[in-house]
A and B are shown apart, each in its own frame.
Chain A
Amino acid sequence: MSTLEINNLHVSIGDKEIVKGLSLTIRSGEVHAVMGPNGTGKSTLSKAIAGHPDYTITSGDVLLDGVSILAQQADERARAGIFLAFQYPSEIPGVSIANFLRAAQQARMAEGEELDASAYYKRLYSKMDLLKIDRKFTSRAVNDGFSGGEKKRCEILQMAMLEPKFALMDETDSGLDIDALRIVADGINTMRGPNLGVLLITHYQRLLDYIVPDHVHVMYDGRIVKSGDKSLALELEAKGYDWIKKELQAATA
């Protein structure tokens, strides 16, 4: 049982503050959906937690099982169990998915320990089958020339292989066709369980029909302005964000 605790977090890019005091605690087994208008800082939040060097944390803290991770490099945080499924995954020309994931797994092993290649491939193939990814993808370079949907599926494949404690999934549903959405959602649901906590960033209620969240948060202008259960997502779908903005104005007036 683990916890990821975000405490009054402030994040800037250059001189510009994007995340303006955000708090949220995720425990293993929970799925938290985060919704919010474009440009409110959802991706910024997820990248800052993952340790992107361009994102400066000006105050607040992020704790994994009670210990601050802010002093750790991105790769240390990753090995500690934080996984980010990118909104816009990078392409790595010339590096095959199989070799990339192998290197990532090897990086998690003690020095001198060698990955068992045949067990690794067996596992990789079973995860690919689960996500209905053609085996010929193993030899393709990571995300290189992939369609939008293929990139998203490749992110989930990596997540399935690396078995993180916490997954920050940034618009994993965007770019997926209807069938792919169901496959990816099924895959995530299989991974769901007492050892995984999820922060699910999405714009659409549709995904939440498949992956039913325990909590839904609305992010606006760098903060969480409203939280609720899955019904909040339905309400947003029906009414848009205007009513939330109005509520906010009324509260601050």
Chain B
Amino acid sequence: MKPPTDTDTLTAPAELAPVENPAVGIDQTAGNFSYKMDYAFDAGTGLSEDTIRYISSVKKEAPWILEFRLAALKKFFSMPLPTHWATKDLEAIDFQKIRYYLSQGQKPKRTWDEVPDDIKKTFERLGIPEQERKFLAGVEAQFDSEAAYSNIKDIVAKQGVIFVNSTEGLREHPEIFKKFFGKVIPTGDNKFSALNSAVFSGGSFIYVPKGVKVAQPLQAYFRINAENFGQFERTLIIADEGSEVVYMEGCTAPKFSTSTLHSAVVELVALKGAKIQYITVQNWANNVFNLVTKRGIAHEDAEIKWIDCNIGSRLTMKYPGVVLKGERARGEVISIALANDGQHQDTGAKMIHAANNTTSNIVAKSISVGQGRSTYRGVVHIPKHLKGCKNNTECDALLINTNSRTDTYPAITVRGDQNSTQHEASVSKVSADMIFYMQQRGLTEGQAMSLAVNGFINDLARQFPMEYSVELKRLIDLEMEGSVG
């Protein structure tokens, strides 16, 4: 391990008054290409206190953050893998063989011209069309651990919006972010949130001031570009009273020969009357373990909507959640998962109702192809003392052939008679006759399959912003083309 090369000293921010945990009292228990990069900072492989101290010093973090990381590391080591309910495949992760921090040692870029050619080349290989590349000129893109590129920041800054990476957020704006950081998702929520809390880098920290409606979606592209390199981004979005923001995250990873770990933590806070929409379209390489914790707290009259699309990876475990903390808060999870051969999508949603007249909606669609496996896990919790709460849960599974496997574990605990839930589940198959019908109209088998799959998710895909639904269709086409002889 190399020592930090940057020796600037940093003045620790003034210690802030301890704040009350906002989540207190709420029961949350219920493509084959890669380019050579010059990595200026490298934490080596393996995980120990030294790794954590190294990361923290490179980032010139305040002491409280180092303490937070070290406590998280202890927690991580003390917690078992959740294999009592999750797949034993988790045991295949060798935490000592993973690289926990890597940076190009570059400051975020402001203009397209300043973006390194290698990164531009990767964008090109990802097939992002010309006009979209221009669009990307207004995008916060994360390349490996650090944001390599940023511009939209300046635009939204005019509205008082803070849009920075996690390091900058904690260093420059602790008075805003410290209060909620690690509170929506406590370090010990699960083994992987503990891991992320210990080694996080990158990700976006966003604050939207009272009443501000951010016109354009804020975007970030994430990708992994080094062998054996884990990515642990940390995102925290705070929408102050009456504000609105849409955040989009897209992940396209080059393929690697050895297992890779991605373990992010995303925390959302929608204060009174605020609206947050968080959109993810991701396509991980076949060897990636994608173990992500995403949760939001919706205060009075606030709304949080997760739109989550998971394609690729060896194993994805992700259950976006909303804690409905204030009266009339609304939570929604729209989820699409596609499991191809050798992939397991273990996804779902958590809705924790903690106030009267709160409503939640879950629509989950999964597609299993070949040996692919899809699992839906849901938790809907409405305690007895509440009234006027509503949940709607819909899970639909599409099987592309007989080897495909799908399981649903919906856990809906609704107590009291003043609340209501509705639950529907369906399993359907793409039949040989349907494929023949489409082939008879001139479509190849692969085209027929992707059309059937796109049809299955059509009603959900329509909720994605235009460019994302186009991207999604393209990803599905690629997946389905590869799945037929």
What is A's interface to B at a CB cutoff of 8 Å? Answer: 47, 50-54, 73-75, 78-79, 83-84, 86, 89-95, 99-101, 103-104, 107-108, 141, 158, 162
Binary per-residue interface labels of chain B (250-265) against chain A in the complex, 1 for a CB within 8 Å, 0 otherwise: 0000000000000000
How many Å from the CB of B448 to the closest CB on chain A?
8
Residues in A neighbouring B441, C-beta threshold 8 A: 78, 100-101, 104, 107, 158, 162
List 12 A–B pairs whose Cβ atoms lie within 8 Å, in order of A's numbering. A50-B440, A73-B444, A90-B431, A90-B434, A94-B454, A94-B458, A95-B458, A101-B441, A103-B451, A107-B441, A108-B442, A141-B455
What separation, in Å, do the CA atoms of A100 and B459 have in the docked complex?
A: 16
What separation, in Å, do the CA atoms of A84 and B459 have in the docked complex?
A: 29
Most buried by A among B436, B447, B451: B436
What separation, in Å, do the CA atoms of A158 and B431 have in the docked complex?
A: 21
- A47-B436, A94-B458 are known; give 9 further A-B pairs, CB within 8 A: A75-B442, A75-B445, A79-B442, A95-B454, A95-B458, A100-B441, A101-B441, A158-B441, A162-B442
What separation, in Å, do the CA atoms of A182 and B442 have in the docked complex?
A: 28
Which residues of chain B from 387 to 434 have any CB-CB distance to chain A below 8 Å in the complex?
428, 431-434
Contacting pair A95 B451 (CB below 8 A): yes
B206 within 8 A of A: no
Contacting pair A93 B455 (CB below 8 A): yes
Closest 3 CB pairs between A and B? A94-B455, A94-B458, A95-B455
B248 within 8 A of A: no
Residues in B neighbouring A158, C-beta threshold 8 A: 441
Most buried by A among B433, B438, B452, B458: B438
Decide: A78 near B439, CB < 8 A? Known: A53-B432, A54-B432: yes
* Total residues of chain B contacting the partner, CB 8 A: 25
| Residue among A78, A95, A101 making CB contact with B440, cutoff 8 Å | A78
Residues in A neighbouring B452, C-beta threshold 8 A: 92, 95
What is B's interface to A at a CB cutoff of 8 Å? Answer: 428, 431-434, 436-445, 447-448, 451-452, 454-459
Contacting pair A73 B445 (CB below 8 A): yes
Contacting pair B440 A84 (CB below 8 A): yes
Residues in B neighbouring A53, C-beta threshold 8 A: 432, 436
Least CB separation from B434: chain A residue: A90
Decide: A94 near B457, CB < 8 A? Known: A100-B451, A103-B447: yes
What separation, in Å, do the CA atoms of A84 and B455 have in the docked complex?
A: 22
How many Å from the CB of A130 to the closest CB on chain B?
19
Residues in A neighbouring B447, C-beta threshold 8 A: 103, 107
Contacting pair A74 B455 (CB below 8 A): no
What separation, in Å, do the CA atoms of A90 and B447 have in the docked complex?
A: 16
| Residue among B432, B434, B440, B444 making CB contact with A92, cutoff 8 Å | B434
Contacting pair A74 B436 (CB below 8 A): yes
Residues in B neighbouring A93, C-beta threshold 8 A: 428, 455-456
Decide: A107 near B445, CB < 8 A? Known: A86-B437, A90-B431, A94-B454: no
Least CB separation from B431: chain A residue: A90
Contacting pair A92 B437 (CB below 8 A): yes
Contacting pair B456 A52 (CB below 8 A): no
Residues in A neighbouring B451, C-beta threshold 8 A: 92, 95, 99-100, 103
What separation, in Å, do the CA atoms of A103 and B437 have in the docked complex?
A: 13
How many Å from the CB of B367 to the closest CB on chain A?
12
Contacting pair A92 B443 (CB below 8 A): no
Least CB separation from A159: chain B residue: B441
Contacting pair A104 B442 (CB below 8 A): yes
How many Å from the CB of A69 to the closest CB on chain B?
13
Residues in A neighbouring B431, C-beta threshold 8 A: 90
Least CB separation from A99: chain B residue: B451
Least CB separation from B455: chain A residue: A94
Residues in A neighbouring B448, C-beta threshold 8 A: 75
What separation, in Å, do the CA atoms of A138 and B448 have in the docked complex?
A: 19
Residues in A neighbouring B456, C-beta threshold 8 A: 93-94
Decide: A89 near B437, CB < 8 A? Known: A75-B444, A78-B442: yes
What separation, in Å, do the CA atoms of A54 and B431 have in the docked complex?
A: 12
Least CB separation from A82: chain B residue: B440
Most buried by B among A53, A75, A89, A158: A75
What separation, in Å, do the CA atoms of A53 and B444 have in the docked complex?
A: 14
Residues in B neighbouring A74, C-beta threshold 8 A: 436, 439-440
